[in-house]
Amino acid sequence: MTPAYRTPTPADASALVALGRETFTATFGHLYPPEDLQTFLEEAHNPETIRTRLADPARRYRVAQAAGQMVGFCHLAPLKLPLHDRPAPALELSQLYVLPDWLGAGIGPALMDWALEQARGAGCAASC
């Protein structure tokens, strides 16, 4: 099945929370003690945080959907890295995650192409 791509809405917050938790845990969960992982997931992947981010015009999201569910997403945010020679304007690739069963399906490259297109469209000329 070929994934479809779209911009999520605030109504997608719960699905993005679930996807964020699942993909982060699958990718990085083994690196953290269980209690630290749970604390991080509750802080970073909760409905209020995601709804706030989706409503922020400085942030950009794209989701991949297949088989009636979200299977990957990309999140761009304002650059917060402490760079001395910070290019302006600048965006940061905050998250790019794909469910393990969908790795190798071309979702990561498609989301990265979207991210680069968004950055160029925002006038970002360099990558760090």
Is the domain 4-121 a CATH 3.40.50.10470 member? no
- Provide the whole-model pTM: 0.87
Instruction: Print pLDDT tens along the chain (128 aa).
Output: 899 999 999 999 999 999 999 999 999 999 999 999 999 999 999 999 999 999 999 999 999 999 889 999 999 998 877 666 666 677 889 999 999 999 999 999 999 999 999 988 878 766 55
φ, ψ for residue 122 (rounded to 5)?
Answer: -90, 0
Distance between CA 62 and CA 64 in Å, rounded?
A: 7
Q: Which two tokens stand for residue 9?
A: 């809405």
Bridge-partner residues for 97, per DSSP? 73
Residue 74 dihedral angles phi and psi, to the nearest 5°: -135, 140
Nearest to 15 by CA among 93, 92, 68, 58: 68
